[in-house]
Amino acid sequence: MSKVIAIIGSSREKGNTRLILDEVIKNQNIEIVSLAEKNISYYDYEHKNRNDDFISIISKIVQCDQIIFASPVYWYSLSAPMKIFVDRFSDLLRIEKEKGRQLKGKKTYLISTGSEEHCPECFEQAFKLTCDYLGMHYQGMLYCYFENNLTLPPNAIEQAQQFSKKIFAD
């Protein structure tokens, strides 16, 4: 069985995104990294932030075959913690090239939640293009619309189970 890790970038530890992530990974023993609990600075051209938590998280990721990224939609984009994390992939092109090369071939999945019935196309497209650029194999997105905060929508559990099968099939 392949090794899977989940990276969640939500400002609410027990929010909607975590609810649906927990449904997807139910009964699976995988590590969940909450970016809210980490110290990750924005991308810095002078790399003064080398000692924050970014590289230690990447070191965990490169040991895995599959990566689940989970982020709510904020203003048609990733949450601020997730956006900062993704922006730091630039470090993997400049100062940590060997680790960056190890991302190639990893399967990636995106889980997202929002208050709109449909996820904006630009949200998924930016993530997919990032994966393509790094040679990661984007496998798709699960988006759940939460009409009521912290209450799973009626079809969310079934959607999560179907998405889980894509990740944990082998």
Task: Delimit the domains of the chain by residue range.
Answer: 4-167
Tokens standing for 101?
A: 């090369």
For residue 153, the model assigns a pLDDT of: 87
Residue 108: count of CB within 10 angstroms of its CB: 22
Quote the tokens at residue 44: 């810095």
pLDDT digits (tens, 9 = 90+) for 3-47: 999 999 998 888 999 999 999 999 999 999 999 999 999 999 999
Q: Which CATH class is domain 4-167?
A: alpha beta
Question: Residue 64 is encoded by which pair of tokens?
Answer: 């895995």
- The answer to whether 81 and 36 are in contact (CB under 8 A) is yes
Give the pTM.
0.96
**Amino acid at position 90, single letter:** S
C-alpha distances in angstroms, 4 versus 74, 107, 129, 135, 156? 25, 9, 21, 18, 21
